[in-house]
């Protein structure tokens, strides 16, 4: 229709020009567009009260037996012949009262559960505090034990060194004497060896 009016083969949305006028109708889109045109979009119709699906009449009563809204024709039908009915405003009041009762009961239950939650959180906190206190106590106790063991270790090592010195000192003194004696013997041996190596008989005997 746009092409027929303007005589230009261009898209009415993006203005792209097409060299050919060969068009094929999109049947699915055409059907969808037609359905959209038939929709009732009047706001007043949207705000209108719901109607009975069977009789297309305004819903006037609430069937307590079936727990559903019905019209006057439904009330006189065989389906609802022996059922109990209430005016809509009374049914609203009754069920609002029931909902309020359920709401109040659930609110009390929520309060009780919240109290239980607080109690549980408090117990968890107490256990964590006790555990933290015990950890501090354990660390302190083991620190003292380590200090005592370190002092005892140092004392034992000191005693060991002293005992070692007490035993080794005379042994080292004895070793020095042995080494001095050995040096003296070696000097005497060296002297005797030189005498034995003397080849001159007179000098040797002298």
pLDDT confidence tier of residue 42, bands split at 50, 70 and 90: low
pLDDT confidence tier of residue 168, bands split at 50, 70 and 90: very high
Residue with tokens 């080849």: 199
Strands of the chain, DSSP E: 61-63, 68-70, 85-87
Q: Cβ distance 59 to 88 under 8 Å?
A: yes
pLDDT at 153: 95
Q: Which of residues 144 and 4 earns the better pLDDT score? A: 144
Percent of the chain with pLDDT over 70: 92
pLDDT at 146: 96
Which distant-in-sequence residues (6+ apart) come within 8 Å of 85 by Cβ?
Answer: 61, 62, 63, 64, 70, 75
Q: Which of residues 128 and 72 earns the better pLDDT score? A: 128
Q: How far is CA 35 from CA 1, 19, 31, 32, in A?
A: 20, 32, 6, 5
């Amino acid at each position: 229709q746009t092409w027929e009016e303007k005589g230009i083969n261009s898209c009415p949305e993006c203005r792209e020009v097409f060299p050919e006028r060969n068009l094929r109708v999109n049947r699915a889109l055409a059907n969808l567009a037609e359905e959209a045109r038939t929709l009732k979009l009047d706001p007043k119709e949207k705000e209108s009260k719901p109607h009975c699906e069977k009789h297309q009449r305004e819903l006037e009563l609430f069937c307590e037996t079936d727990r559903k809204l019905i019209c006057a024709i439904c009330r006189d039908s065989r389906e609802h012949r022996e059922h109990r009915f209430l005016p809509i405003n009374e049914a609203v009041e009754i069920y609002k009262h029931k909902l309020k009762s359920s709401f109040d009961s659930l609110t009390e239950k929520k309060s009780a559960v919240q109290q239980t939650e607080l109690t549980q959180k408090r117990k968890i906190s107490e256990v964590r505090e006790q555990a933290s206190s015990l950890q501090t106590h354990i660390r302190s106790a083991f620190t003292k034990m380590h200090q005592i063991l370190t002092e005892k270790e140092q004392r034992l090592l000191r005693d060991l060194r002293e005992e070692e010195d007490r035993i080794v000192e005379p042994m080292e003194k004895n070793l020095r004497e042995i080494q001095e004696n050995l040096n003296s013997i070696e000097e005497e041996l060296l002297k005797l060896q030189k005498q034995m190596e003397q080849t001159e008989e007179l000098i040797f005997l002298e």
